[in-house]
Structure 1
Amino acid sequence: MRIALIVGINYYQNGGALFGCVDDAHAVKAVLERHDGGGVNFDCKLLTGTGPTDAVTRRELRDSIQQLFAVDADIALFYFAGHGHIEATGGYLLASDSARGDEGISLSDVLVLANQSRARNKIIFLDSCHSGIAGTPPGQGNLATLAEGVTVLTASTAEQYATERDDRGVFTTLLVDALNGSAANLTGDITPGSIYAHIDQSLGAWEQRPVFKTNVKQFVSLREVSAPISREELRRLVEFFPAPGAEFRLDPTFEPELKGRDPGMPDPIPENTRTFGTLQKYNRLNLLVPVGVRHMWNAAMESRSCRLTALGEHYRRLVEKNRI
C-alpha cells in the first residue's frame, strides 16, 4: 500500500496569499497517482486552500497528518506547499486559519509522527519557507533526529525562503519534472535520492538550496517510468564484458551499413549486427565508449574495440550481483 497526503494552501486568513501552491499540489497528485505506464501508484488525499469557503484549517491539517502516518503502509508520503515559519521554538507549517507563526503545525510534531509511524518508508516533501529545519530539534544545531525509514526533502534551508516563479513553486516544478522521468535511472525507477540529485543540480549556488535528510538502508522507488533500455539488454553486459576492464573486439561484420566499406571487407553478419545494435544503445546511454576512435562506426570498420565507462561498470556489477 502506498498512500500520500498532498496539501497546497494559497489562502491565509491572517497573512499574505500565495499563488502557486494549489496548482503545485494538483501537479504532485497527478504525477504520483499512476506510474508512467498507467498502473496505480499512490492512493492520494488532496487538501487545498483556495479561499474562505475552501480553507485548510489547522485541525484538519494535523488530523490528516496523523491519519497518514497511522497507516501500516509500504510508503506514507506527505507533501506540503504553503507558508512556513521559524522561530526559537522551531519550524512550523501554517494552515489557512493560523493567526501567527507558532499556531501552525510544528515540524517537530510532524517528525515525531513520522518517526513513530508503522509505515516502512516515510517520505516528506516540503515546499515552504525555512523548511530545512525539519528533523532538527530546536537548539540542537545540525543534529537531525530521523528514525529508520524516514526521508525529508525540503525546498530551502532553515534560513531561506522558498520562491515561486511564474505562479509555481521552483522546488515543486523540479520535483514534478523529476517524477515525470528526469530523475529516473536506466531501469526506469525514481527514488528520493535521484530526485534530490536532480533538484540539487538544477539550482545554482546563489539560489535557494534544497535540503535532504534521510535514514534508510535502501532507497525505495517512488514512481516507475519507461526505461531507455530493456532489462534484458542490460543483463547482457556481463555477456559482452565478463570481467572489469574487459574490452569487446569489433570488426566490419558488426556494422550493418554497406556504404563506406573498402574493397575486400567482409559483409555484415546478422547476429553480429544485432549485437552491435545493443552496444550502440549502451554507447548512447554513456555505458560504453569506443577505444581509440570517436564513433562506434569507426570502431567496427577499423576493427577496434569498445569498453565500459564508469557508469557501465556500475551497471555491470549490478547485473553480476543479480540486482537487475
Structure 2
Amino acid sequence: MSKKYALIIGNNQHNDSAWPDLKTPEIDAKSVAEVLQDRQIGGFDQVDIALNASVREMRIAIGKLFNPHHHKPDDILLLYFSGHGELDSNDDLYFVGRETQHEMVYATGLEAIYITRLMDNARSQRQVIILDSCYSGAFGKGGTESAVPTKAIFEGNGEGRYILASSEALQRSWESDATLDEVDHSFFTHFLVEGLRTGAADRDNDGWVHVGELYDHIRDGMTKGSRRQTPIQHALNLDGDLIIARSPVSPFERASEQLTNVIVQAENAAARGDYQRAEALLNSVIQADETNEFLKDTAQVMLNALQVERTRARAYEQVKLLLKKRAIRAAPTAWQSFTKKYPGYDPENLAKRLAPAAKRAKITPAVRKNEDGLLPAPFAWIEIPGKNYSIAKYPLTNAQFAPFIKAGGYKNKKWWTAAGWQMREKEKWREPRYWTDAKWNGPEHPVVGVSWYEAVAYCLWLSEKTSQEIMLPTEDLWQYAAQGDDRREYPWGNEWDCKRCNNSVSPCDSNATTPVRQYEGKNKGDSPFGVVDMAGNVWEWCLTEYESKRNNLDGTNVRVLRGGSWLNGYTGNFRVSARNRYTPDFRLNDGGFRLALSL
C-alpha cells in the first residue's frame, strides 16, 4: 500500500535584518501540517515540520524526504515551503534560511537546483512541490523585469511531478498585497488550507481533492481578492490527476449544501421580483444529477408556487395598468376577477384606489310623483354615489319640456326669477326659440333655443309639481357625473373618439341634434355612472356663475355651459373639464340643459 510523506518549511525569522519581515510563514506551515496530518482530510503517514530553519537544517530535511531508500515509486512526497526566495545574478533561485546573508545568497542560501536533483533521484513518481514565496530578486534588473519560470527551475529529468506556486515567473508575491492584513495566513495558503479543511476544493463532489481541484479553488479565491497575484500549476509527466486529500464533507452533504444554496438564491431572486432568475435556479436543482430527492421535491413545490405567484403578479400589474389608463369600467371588473382568484393579495392597496371607481350608480326610472306624465320616456334619474344628488340620465327632451308650455309656464311669473321674467316680457317669449322648427323639435331630441332663465323656470315649475327639489346641476356636480374619480379626459376615457358622441369633428361631421339615446351604452359615450350625452349633442346650462363660480338664481351674470355640442369641430370642447359661457338670456340651437335632483 502506498504511503504519503510531507515536509513543511516555514521561515519568517532571519539573522540578517536586510531581509524584509514576513508575517505569516510560521503560521502557514503549522496550518498546512495540521490539515495534512488530519486523518479525515490529508491522512499523511508522516508530516515533518521545520520552522525558521537554517539552510543546513533545510538541506538535511529535504534530503531525507526524497531519499530513494525511504519510499516506493507510488508513494506521495510533498514539499511545502513558505518564506523568502531570491535570485542571484545568474537568475539561479535560492531559498532563504535563518542564517542566509542578503549580500551572499549564492553562498549562504539553499539552491533550488539541489531540490531538483534530489527529486530526479527519488523513486517516487508522485511528487508535489508547493511554493508560497516572495521572490524579491525577480524584478528589475536595469529597469526591466527578469523572470525565470517556476516550471523550468523544478522540471529536472524526473517523472510524476506536480508544481503548485503562489505566483508565476518568480513575480513578487503576497507580501506586497495589503489584503493580507485582513487574514491570518498568506493569501495563497489561506485558500489552500480553507479548501482542504472545508472540502470546498472537492469541485466534482466525488469525496476526494485532486491537486488540480485544489489549484482551481486557490486560483478562484485569489483572483477574486487580489489583482496582483496569480497562482500557477504545472503537471510534469503525471499519469492522471493526483489525489492529495479526501473531503471532510461527504459528497451527499456537499451536493446538498450546494443545492440548498441554490434554493436560497432562488428565494432571494423571487423576493426582489426576478422571477425568471428564480425559476432558472429552481429548475437547475430539479434537473441536478445529485440524488437528494427531498431538496428536488422542495424545489418543485417552490417552482409551482412561484409560477402561480408570477401569474398573480402579472395579473396585478394588469389591474394597475387599467387604473393608470383610467379605465373606469374595466379596472373594477378586472379587480373583481383578480380578488376572486387571489383573495387577500393587495400589496399596493389597490382596493382603496378602486373603491370610488367600483361604485355603481342607482338608476330610478322617473320622479317619485309623476301622476300627470310630466317626464315621458326616455327619462331616468341616476343617483351619484356619495354625493346626495341624482342627475338626469339624458338631456331634457322636447317631449319633456312640452308640459311646461302647456301648463302656462311662459305665462306665470311665479316660476321665473326677477331678471328672467323681465327678459321674457321684453322679448315676448312664449316657447323655445326653435320650438316650431322641424329640424330641432323631434320629441326625443334635446330641447334647444332655451335660455338659462327658461331652464331655471322649468326646474322651479317641476319642483312644485313633483314636491321635489329639482334644479340645474352645479358646475362641480355636472363634472363629477361626467368624469367620476379617475380624472379622465372624456366621459368614456382618455382617448378622443368622434363615434362616441354627436359632434362635427371630422370625419363625424354633424348638422343637427340627435335623439338623446343615440349614443347610449358602455361602448359608446356613457360617463362612469352611465350618464348619457355628457359630451356632444348640446351644450348644457349649469347653475353656476362663470366668473365667481357662485351657485344662485339671482342677477344677470354670465353662466356656465358644459359638454360641447353637435356644432363643435374642436375636440377640446368635449373634454369634461371644458367650460363655455353665455349671458343667461342667450338662446342657442346647440344649447339645452339637464336636471339635477337633491336627495
Aligned residue among 116, 134, 154 for 2:150: 134
Corresponding residue to 1:172 among 189, 202, 208: 189
User: What is the match of residue 250 of structure 2?
Assistant: 227
> Aligned to 2:208, which of 171, 180, 189?
189
Between the aligned partners of 2:287 and 2:244, the Cα distance in structure 1 is 23
Q: Among 208, 213, 216, which residue is 2:234 paired with?
A: 213
- State the match for 1:67 in structure 2: 64
2:152 is aligned with 1:155: no
Please give the alpha-carbon distance, in whole angstroms, between the structure 2 residues aligned to 1:68 and 1:176.
22
1:1-324 mapped onto 2 (5 Å cutoff)? 1-14=3-16, 15-36=19-40, 40-49=43-52, 56-70=53-67, 71-73=70-72, 74-87=75-88, 88-99=90-101, 100-102=104-106, 103-130=108-135, 133-137=149-153, 144-145=155-156, 147-164=158-175, 165-166=180-181, 167-180=184-197, 181-184=199-202, 185-204=204-223, 206-215=227-236, 216-225=238-247, 226-229=249-252, 283=285, 286-287=288-289, 295-297=299-301
Contact 1:8 1:24 (8 Å CA) reproduced:
yes
SS in structure 2 of the partner of residue 136 of structure 1: helix
CA distance in 1, matches of 2:157, 2:300: 48
Secondary structure at 1:203 match in 2:
helix
Unpaired runs of 5+ residues, structure 1, are: 50-55, 138-142, 234-279, 302-324
> Structure 1, residues 222-253: CA drift from partner, whole Å, max 9, x if none?
111222328xx9xxxxxxxxxxxxxxxxxxxx
Q: Which secondary structure state, in structure 2, belongs to the residue aligned with residue 36 of structure 1?
A: coil
2:162–2:233: 8 Å Cα contact kept in structure 1? yes
Give the aligned residue type for 1:77: L
1:286 CA drift (Å): 4.6
2:584 maps to what in 1? none
Which range moved further: 216-225 or 102-111?
Answer: 102-111
Higher strand share: 1
Greater share of helix residues, 1 or 2?
Answer: 2
Identity between Structure 1 and Structure 2 (%): 25
TM-score, normalised with respect to structure 2: 0.36
* Contact persistence 2:86–2:95 (CA under 8 A): yes
3-state SS of the aligned residue for 1:182?
coil
Residues 261-305 of structure 1, C-alpha deviation per residue, up to 9 Å, x if partnerless? Answer: xxxxxxxxxxxxxxxxxxx9x93895379xxxx95347899xxxx
Letter in 1 for 2:233: F
* SS of match in other structure, 1:158: helix
Separation in structure 2 between the aligned mates of residue 147 and residue 285 of structure 1, nearest angstrom: 45
In 1: Cα distance, 2:251 partner to 2:87 partner: 43
Quote the Cα distance in structure 2 between the aligned partners of 1:285 and 1:112: 51
2:251 aligned counterpart, secondary structure? coil
Partner Cα separation in structure 2 for residue 3 and residue 76 of structure 1: 5
Alignment partner of 1:79: what SS?
Answer: strand
CA distance in 2, matches of 1:23, 1:116: 31
Measured in 2, the distance between the counterparts of 1:285 and 1:17 equals 52
Q: Distance in 2 between matches of 1:60 and 1:198?
A: 32
* Cα 1:220–1:91 shift into 2, 3 Å: same
* Residue-by-residue CA offset, 1:88-109 (whole Å, 9 max, x unaligned): 2421111111113323222222
Q: CA RMSD in A?
A: 3.2
Give the whole-Å Cα distance in 1 for the aligned partners of 2:122 and 2:286: 43
In the superposition, relative to structure 1, how do residues 296 and 112 fare at CA in structure 2: closer, same or farther (>3 Å)? farther
| Other structure's SS at 2:87 match | strand
Q: Which sections of structure 2, spanning at least 5 residues, go unmatched?
A: 139-147, 256-281, 292-297, 306-599
Using the TM superposition, give the Cα deviation of residue 206 of structure 1 relative to its aligned residue in structure 2, in angstroms: 2.5
Q: How many residues align?
A: 237
How much has 1:144 moved relative to structure 2? 4.6
Q: Secondary structure at the match of 1:147?
A: coil
| d(CA) in 1 for partners of 2:40, 2:173 | 29
Measure the CA separation in 2 of the matches of 1:285 and 1:209.
Answer: 35
Q: 1:284 to 1:218 in 2, by over 3 A?
A: farther
For residue 311 of structure 1, what is the aligned residue in structure 2?
none
1: CA distance, partners of 2:110 / 2:246:
32
CA change 1:9–1:170 in 2 (3 A) is same
Question: What residue identity is the alignment partner of 1:178?
Answer: G
**Cα distance in 2 for residues equivalent to 1:298 and 1:21:** 48
Q: Distance in 2 between matches of 1:12 and 1:59?
A: 14
Contact 1:57/1:95, CA 8 A, preserved across alignment: yes
- The structure with more radius of gyration: 2
Range 26-35 or range 81-90, more displaced? 81-90
Higher relative contact order (CA 8 A, sep 6+): 1
User: 1:84 offset after TM fit, Å?
Assistant: 0.8
- Report if aligned partners of 2:168, 2:231 keep a CA contact under 8 Å in 1: yes
Change (3 A) 1:285 1:198: farther
